[in-house]
Structure 1
């Protein structure tokens, strides 16, 4: 049984589209809110948390709704196509609102974009397992994650090149490029992936998979395993609280504290993302040798030290890129291993249920932390950003030390691409 890499590449274009938009949202929207509309840090953090608030309710809803959908295009494709078109139309109104300084137009357009993205985010993720036999989903997910990383890097490069170093830059060029990328990616996917036809072929070739899933045991989780699950979920909340505070506020921090102008702040984020991608393979090998828990603990330690180092830079220095490289490596060590540990503990029950728990805790952190960190930035000092992340990162280290289950060493990967799978 072999994975069709070409088909999986085309499937991943939908995820590339999603990832490209969120990178744009996280880095540019805060600058608009503050520099154009004069909104304070606390309210900026509140607005930046809206996507995660919507995600908690809309992602499960549209995921379940697409499960019950049946059209000539399939179950997921109508949501992906319709959601992309709506998102692109409304996202192009955002820089227009920024240019003419119309906050009502900006807020309505932003809300419409976030809703449109929520309609197809879950269907886009679900498309791969729908069209990939179960034994091959790990390797296929590796390709999907790589595609998402490519989308994010394209956005960061676009920001770096297209956002001018001016007091009030126009963001229309970078929004236009990402809009074109999103449309092109989904158009190619639509032309190359015939969802309904491929879905029927997979079902006919592997008829026992669905029945096997129905027959999985649903035994109660032992109390000691439940305790470990609770601690790892707490750890997930805490390290996302630390990490998302930096990623959400970094574009403003770089401008206010280090004096960076235009899109130059994106270079450090590109280094972090590139380092994470490169480090997936050695981290996968390390996990196979020392186990997932020790690898996660090493990642948390590395990220905590990176936050401390980031705080030490009063002025910008190219050395900050080295710090962000270690941040990316630490985040990869956590990301690669945390979700599989949750799944490992839940394998006697409903994996889908515990997958939902994983995302509930990670998204809840991303709702809370922009608001809380934004309050500190506004009312205390911008210099609180990295200490804030250090505190929550250290807390995640403490809770992770209490996790005693889910640490079976993953088998060595047959393919290098398998190490890119962070949501196996």
Structure 2
């Protein structure tokens, strides 16, 4: 295939084909464990109620699947891109009300009900979701073929590599809390995936978590206090958004970076599954679904939603691609939002246990990116070498483009750099070798 053609994906066998309902439920639970840590971290940092974040993640995932014709095996959870502006907007309106605290945690510890002030931030999230929906509509208007020209394999493959590498410090930080426990969960998952047969081979993450959890409990590294005090039934504390020019100006521009990053996520899922989801149901539908899931989160008082790379890593590891598995994970998320004791049990899983698993999952994503370059026969020479080099350094080196409240960094910045550089080099006839 010529490098000027678009992404070549290799069809993969779906190991969940023909599986029983019980098996699919267990696979869905595996994805629930995988998304949980990141999804609840955002509300912990911003003051948004945790059960609201779980509810909106589950509902947002189901909405996304409906918009994308039930075809794409994706889970949507809390987006990290909006953390800073959510905190900034909330603190601003608290000060307007005469509540002057140093940070969100101080206000929470003082018993302040943050919802009246968070509502302005969630209003901004609601509008940001509509902007992402608009980007999807724009892709539909210009046509997928014109859109594809912006993301040749050299760019899309490098973006997939960056997704895994950008997330890798998160996995190391999580594991570093207790490396022995992290390594137990990591090697358990590897052994189950590579040396067992039958259904167990499809749930290595659950085996890794279970064995890691048992070892952690035996060694006194599990705290059960929250499990004992959590109630069995508790309706999520949803609240409606408020709208202001300040919140809109602070949060809407943030939608640009997650929109660009969304392209990389869809490329990664397409490469893992071996189906061109960017064509069917189409990148416009996946971005519209992402946007509406974000708006739904904002409308109910939750964080913005985004496609989760953690779950893509599980897809690559297990090769179980049935989209119903992700919808089952969404139902589990809603269940945890409604039953606080279930959520407390999951939260009792030590962070290093999940860190060990995510070392493997994030590495899998980066490896899939390298495989994408190989499958598309991308020559790492000439203009391709320059494009990849600049993308990798800007994506991993901490470069930030800042304009007022808008900041572009990481994968989003690397994608823009790749598009611009590759376009200039192609138009000026730069050497390919």
Q: What range is the shorter-chain TM-score in?
A: 0.3 to 0.5
Larger helix fraction of residues? 1
Q: Which has the higher contact order (CA 8 A, sep 6+)?
A: 2
TM-score, scaled relative to structure 1: 0.32
TM-score, scaled relative to structure 2: 0.32
